[in-house]
Amino acid sequence: MAIKSIFKDNEYIQSNNPDLFYQIEEKPRSVKDAIVYAFQTVVTMLGPMSITPLALAAACGMTPLQTAQVLGLCMIGSGLGTLCQTTWGVRLPVVQTMSLAFMAGYISIAGIVTAENGGVVDGKLIMCYIMGAVILGGMVEFLLGVTGLITKLKRVFTPVIMGPVMMLIMLSMATTTVGWASENWFVFLVVAVLTLTMSNIIPATKWGKDKKIIKSLAIIVPIVVGYVISWVMSANGMIDPSSGAYVDIQVIKDTPWFNKPGGFVNWGMPKFRLDFLLLVLAGYLMSIIESIGQYHANTFACRCPGKLSQHRVSMGIGMEGLGCILSALAGGLASTSSGENIGLVERTGVASRHIARVGGVLLICLGLIGKFGAVITSITDPIIAGIFVSILGVVGGGGLQTTFSKCPLSGRNVSIFGIALIFGMGMPAYIAANPVDTGIIWLTNSINGICSSNMAIGGIMAILLDQVMPGSDKERGIQEDDTPDAEYGEDTAYGVSIKE
């Protein structure tokens, strides 16, 4: 792949599926649509996105102001990554977000820097080293993508692999989602029932004549309703202030209006160390495995009729790397594709990458507004859980669809799928109770980091079994199509000719 052709801007997917409210290449019909649906996209993934920066801020001993800053800067980084992804990358409605896959590496870096600093926790110094590691790792991911090396592994990342990874996205969040819901079952049930009603029940009835519009609002409306209920209950003393369901308005009042962008401004110059790069590479490995699976899941949610082209996968990974570099330079953390957005597309039918691009711009703008970050962090756990129940169910079901719509339901494939799920769920729990200790800090942390990820372990196990167990190309889901679409090769995405 010639470097000069990497950023060509004349590839378009022509599609017209009646089940979608917005097609992939369809631009917003109005400014109102652009803002409403982009905001819905942003709100859906902000909850999960905030977990990593907030956890890191706590580990680094950051002040409340620094915590608000790192959250805002991560929003800016996610916005920049989303613009790269929707413009030059996989060119689907993919939104970039922060990933817990990197958390083990971040904590390891924080521990090493603190120990070398005489036991003094210095949040700014830690962020400088994390920025350096993320930048170097982003360069590696960028080169793997834009040179096409990642697509040479297509016989490794088969549909047999993608299904278990997608299922593990759902299963890995199950306990957390129920925990959030338990903070206030009433609010959770209101949001969950309203989401399912608007996305599935009403559109299937005689009252669902405008089902596309109703379905397209099936996330934002339940969030607003749940937030208002939580705020009223909190203001009237019906929810304890220590509960995850409590809406704390005072935090919003105390937060400054604007954040200062830029890692150089907030933390200092990036600092580079090879051992810290190795620590975050484990996170990049997990991120790549998850992202490739999510690209395929996104094509399913967008009703794409054919295979995901090698060029699109390659550019998707390349732009994730570039997004990580830009996020670190902005003062944020490494970003990856948002799995939550896949379920959002399926639930709402809004598959326009242009609306996702508006979401990226919105993320950047909102990341500069300190008080908006405070408002987002005040969206309560039961509300997020109510949305997740619907979205994660779609992602998990999409895993079954991804594997068994492209691969035969053979004993070989069923065994790989099941064993990958067993190890993907069981190994992280075992490692949490029995961490590995090699005596070498970076190696120990890297092994424990990889083995603590459900998606990484499940993906690695599925890859090993898929390579070892005998199976034809057809059984593995990698046999080339004999349809006319196949003759377009890498210049065809999703079985639809790309116009030059």
pLDDT digits (tens, 9 = 90+) for 442-466: 677 667 767 777 777 888 888 899 8
Q: pLDDT tens, 356-393? A: 899 999 999 888 888 876 776 677 778 878 887 877 77
Which tokens is 134 given? 């993320």
Helices 274-301/454-468 angle, 10° precision:
80
**Is pLDDT of 292 > 50?**
yes
Q: Please report which helix (H) or strand (E) contains residue 356, including its range.
A: helix 353-367
SS (H, E, C) 283-318: HHHHHHHHHHHHHHHHHHHCCCCCCCCHHHHHHHHH
Nearest Cα to 335, choosing from 355, 360, 352, 310? 360
Average pLDDT over residues 249-274: 81
Higher pLDDT: 435 or 169? It is 435
Please give the C-alpha separations between residue 458 and each of 52, 163, 472, in angstroms, as whole numbers: 22, 10, 22
Q: Where are the alpha helices (DSSP H) in 92-210?
A: 103-116, 123-146, 159-172, 174-181, 185-196
485 phi and psi angles, rounded to 5 deg: -60, -30
Length of the chain equals 500
Q: What is the mean pLDDT of residues 33-61?
A: 76
Tell me if 79 sits within 8 A of 332, measured CB to CB: no
Return the amino acid letter for 286: M
Distance CA 227, CA 275 (A): 44
| Range in 10-24, 114-128, 401-415, 479-493 the model is least confident about | 479-493
Q: Where does residue 423 fall: left (phi above 0), alpha (psi -120 to 50 degrees), or beta otherwise?
A: alpha
pLDDT for the residue 329? 94
Indicate the DSSP class of residue 204. Answer: G
Cβ distance 388 to 51 under 8 Å?
A: no
Token pair for 383: 């509300």
Q: Strand, helix or coil at 268?
A: coil
Give strand pairing partners of 258. 369
Torsion of CA 297, 301, 302, 308, to 10 degrees: 20
Closest to 260 in 3D by CA, of 127, 367, 389: 367
What confidence category does residue 48 fall into, taking pLDDT thresholds of 50, 70 and 90? Answer: low
331: DSSP letter: T
Cα–Cα dist 22/211, whole Å: 13
| One-letter identity of residue 424 | G
Residues 398 and 49: their CA atoms lie apart, in Å, by: 22
C-alpha Rg value of the chain to the nearest Å? 22
Question: Helix (H, G, I), strand (E, B), or coil: what is residue 482?
Answer: coil
Q: How many Å apart are CA 159 and CA 154, to the nearest integer?
A: 10
Asked if residue 146 lies in contact with residue 315, where contact means CB atoms within 8 angstroms, the answer is yes
Q: Which amino acid is at 316?
A: G
pLDDT of residue 272: 92
Q: Residue 123 carries which side chain, given as an amino acid letter?
A: G
d(CA 433, CA 443): 18
Residue among 296, 231, 321 at smallest CA distance from 6: 321
In contact, 296 and 96? CB cutoff 8 Å = no
> 274: which 2 tokens?
């090879």
Percent of the chain with pLDDT over 70: 84
Q: What angle do CA 204, 209, 215 make, to 5 degrees?
A: 65
Q: What is the pLDDT of residue 376?
A: 67
**Strands annotated E in 415-459:** none
Q: What does the pLDDT average to over 123-151?
A: 91
Q: What pLDDT is attached to residue 208?
A: 55
C-alpha 238/C-alpha 426 separation (Å) is 39
For residue 265, give the 3-state DSSP assignment: helix
**Alpha carbons 105 and 276: distance in angstroms, whole number:** 8
| Region of 191 on the Ramachandran plot (φ > 0 left; ψ -120 to 50 alpha; else beta) | alpha
pLDDT confidence of residue 216: 64
| pLDDT tens, residue by residue, 311-357 | 888 899 999 999 999 999 999 999 988 876 777 787 778 888 889 89
Q: Which contiguous run of DSSP H or E holds residue 497?
A: strand 496-497
Q: Residue 117: what residue type?
A: N
- Start-end of H helices in 147-219: 159-172, 174-181, 185-196, 211-216
Q: Which residue has the higher pLDDT, 353 or 134?
A: 134
Q: What is the mean pLDDT of residues 123-150?
A: 91
More confident position, 456 or 490: 456
Residue 392 in contact with residue 166, Cβ under 8 Å?
no
